[in-house]
Structure 1
Amino acid sequence: MVSVKRIQVTFDCAEPERVARFWCEVLGYEHRGTACVDPSGVGPRLYFQQVPEGKVVKNRLHLDVRVGTGLVGAERVAVLEAECARLVALGAVRLRLLPADDVNESCLVMQDVEGNEFCLD
C-alpha cells in the first residue's frame, strides 16, 4: 500500500513576496519568506517562485477557499460576499458569482493580486 504524501502547491509569479503575503492573509497561514505554512500543520505549504513570464490564460488548477461549507441559499451567499469584501480590501478582484444550480451551491470566482483565479466556496 502506498503511504499518503504531503504536498506543496507552487505558484509561478512576478512578485513572490507580495503574492505570499496575500495568500497568508487569506488563509491565516504563517508567512515564511516566499512561502505560506499552515500553523496547524494540516494544510499544504504554498510556495511562490519568481518566473520571467507573466500570466497569459486561465488557470488549469485553482484553489477553492472553503468559507461557506454547510451553508445554502442566501445565508451562504452572504458569507461568500462578506469574505469577498475582506479579500478585495487585500487586493483581490471579484469576477463573478456563480449561483446555485441543481448540482452545486453558489460560489464566487475571484483573482488574487497577480490575476490567478480562485473560488470562494
Structure 2
Amino acid sequence: MATRRTVTVGLALDCADPTRLAEFWKLALGYEDEPPPAPFTTREEWLARFGLSDDDQEDAAWLHDPTGANPRLFLQQVREPKLVKNRLHLDLRVSGQGSPAIRWARVRQEADRLEAAGATVVAEYSGHHVVMADPEGHEFCVC
C-alpha cells in the first residue's frame, strides 16, 4: 500500500523590490508576514543557522495566509528585470454565488480595489475575468 506524502505548496516570485511588493500582495491576498521557522524568533537567527547574515541576503519577504488555507508566498530579489510574460500566474477567485451580473460586479469591485492599490488592468473579459499586473508587472487574474 502506497503512503501519501504530505506536501505543501509555496510560490516564489522573483522581483526587484520584495519589501515594497510584499505590501501589495498582503493587501491583495489578506496575507501576513510569515514568522521564521521554529525554534527561531527572528529571520536573522534563521539566516545565521545557515552561515548567512542580512548582509549576505538580498532583500526578501516571506508571506503566509493566516488561515493556513492558501500557499505561502516568497518574494526574492533578483537583479535582472522581468522581460517576458509569466509562465505561471495567480488566479484570485472572488468568493460567493449569485447571478452572473452579481458575480461580475464582485469581480469588477475587486479589480478596482487592486487597481487603487497599485495594480494595472492588462485586459478585461467582460462577464468572466480581468487580467491585471502587480506593481512590478507580474500578471494575475481576478475571476
> Shared fold (TM-score greater than 0.5)?
yes
- The structure 1 segments of at least 4 consecutive aligned residues displaced by more than 2 Å after TM superposition are 68-73
Gaps of 5+ in 2: 35-59
Q: Look up the match of 1:85.
A: 112
Q: Look up the match of 2:130.
A: 108
Contact 1:21 1:31 survives alignment (8 Å): no
Aligned residues: 116
| Deviation, structure 1 residue 53 | 0.6
Distance 1:82 1:8, change over 3 A: same
Gaps of 5+ in 1: 101-105
- CA–CA distance in 2 between the matches of 1:115 and 1:72? 32
> TM (normalized to structure 1)?
0.87
> For residue 100 of structure 2, what is the amino acid of its counterpart?
G
- CA–CA distance in 1 between the matches of 2:7 and 2:98? 31
- CA–CA distance in 2 between the matches of 1:39 and 1:54? 31
| Deviation, structure 1 residue 3 | 1.5
> TM (normalized to structure 2)?
0.75
Q: Percent identity?
A: 43
Alignment root-mean-square deviation, CA:
1.6
- CA–CA distance in 2 between the matches of 1:115 and 1:53? 14
